[in-house]
Amino acid sequence: MPSLLERLGVELPIVQAGMGGGCAGHELAAAVSEAGGLGTVGIVPPRLMAAEIEAARALTGRPIAVNLLLPFTTRRHREAAQEADAVVTFWGRPDRPGAAAWIHQAGSVAEARLAHEAGADGVIVQGVEAGGHVRGETPAMELLERVRAALPDGFPIWLAGGIAEPADVRAGLDGGAEACVLGTRFLASDECRAHREYKRRLIAGAETLLTELFGLGWPAPHRVLPNEATRRWCVRRPRGPAAIRTFNRLTGPLASRMPARAQDFLSRAQRSSVPLLGPQMALEDRGENLIEAGPLYAGETVARIADVRAAAELVGLLTPP
């Protein structure tokens, strides 16, 4: 039986994570796919998502994926996502989003089982080492072994978390993963839309912390680089002060449903000294204040990333012999 990558028409076992909010746009996704991997457009408002997929199609004839964060996914998102070759869902009860190939990212054996039972074409198992929003609580290789034992032989499993070098990819493939999913390494790419200072701090960084500080609107754990906000609020408790975390949980449902214009206003007003800290990240064309007052999402692999490269070059370098 052909692998999921073969069914999609993907040549190499390298998948770029769908970093949302405009970070992973069509330029990055198309560059990864054109190089033989699978590029992913991150979630943005539905009209923008449709435009990003169309723009990626103009740059490559190879498969393109799109990422949907289920707490923020609408009917229009699902409709737009059907123009992609694969849809990756994350953070919610597994539910097929449409007719496209469907992969669900899971942080536990139980969630991987739910995805399989719901008819997913494959799962991504995310280890606790991962950057951004972290579903996993177990090291990636350990979770991979557990999920492999729990699901039927041959069911496609992709691995995320702790991957930055060819040896990491080789270890994942040897451990039974069909492909490896990388976010932090592709964050440090020319085509990624992250702010240049964000990229500079990423390649200079040596440590991260798992926190819930930047949870206004989405009270979920996330791994980030240190900045003024984390140094101010997370010295005693890396996860953030209990009062802030409680406020984030109580207001999350309301804040996440704010109009995009209101969310943009709040992100531009965000300051490290004021404990109203949302999940928006600093991009190349906006959000300079978020370098110190917003989340600098990054995985534990930052200590092993020392440069910014073209995405196509990264695909080639990461692919093991």
What's this model's pTM, rounded to 2 decimal places? 0.96
Q: Which residues contact 171 (CB under 8 A, 6 or more apart)?
A: 141
Q: How many domains does the chain have?
A: 2
* pLDDT tens digits, one per residue of 244-286: 999 999 887 776 677 777 777 788 889 999 999 999 999 998 8
The pLDDT value recorded for residue 265 is: 78
**Residue 319 phi, psi (nearest 5):** -70, 115
pLDDT along the chain (321 residues), means of 10: 92 97 97 98 96 98 97 94 97 91 98 98 98 96 98 97 98 98 98 98 97 94 98 95 93 73 82 94 94 98 97 97 87
Same domain? For 163 and 284 the reply is: no
194 contacts 286 by C-beta, under 8 angstroms: no
Does residue 235 lie in a domain region?
Answer: yes
Does residue 40 lie in a domain region?
Answer: yes
Question: Structure tokens of 64?
Answer: 């393109």
186 contacts 39 by C-beta, under 8 angstroms: no
Same domain? For 50 and 128 the reply is: yes
Same domain? For 143 and 274 the reply is: no
Local structure of 157: helix, strand or coil: strand
Does residue 200 lie in a domain region?
Answer: no
* pLDDT tens digits, one per residue of 23-39: 999 999 999 999 999 99
Which CATH number covers residue 183? 3.20.20.70
Same domain? For 81 and 113 the reply is: yes
Among 301, 218, 315, CA closest to 14: 315
Same domain? For 107 and 34 the reply is: yes
Does residue 197 lie in a domain region?
Answer: no
Same domain? For 65 and 115 the reply is: yes
Range of the domain at 270: 209-297
Does residue 266 lie in a domain region?
Answer: yes
Same domain? For 155 and 253 the reply is: no
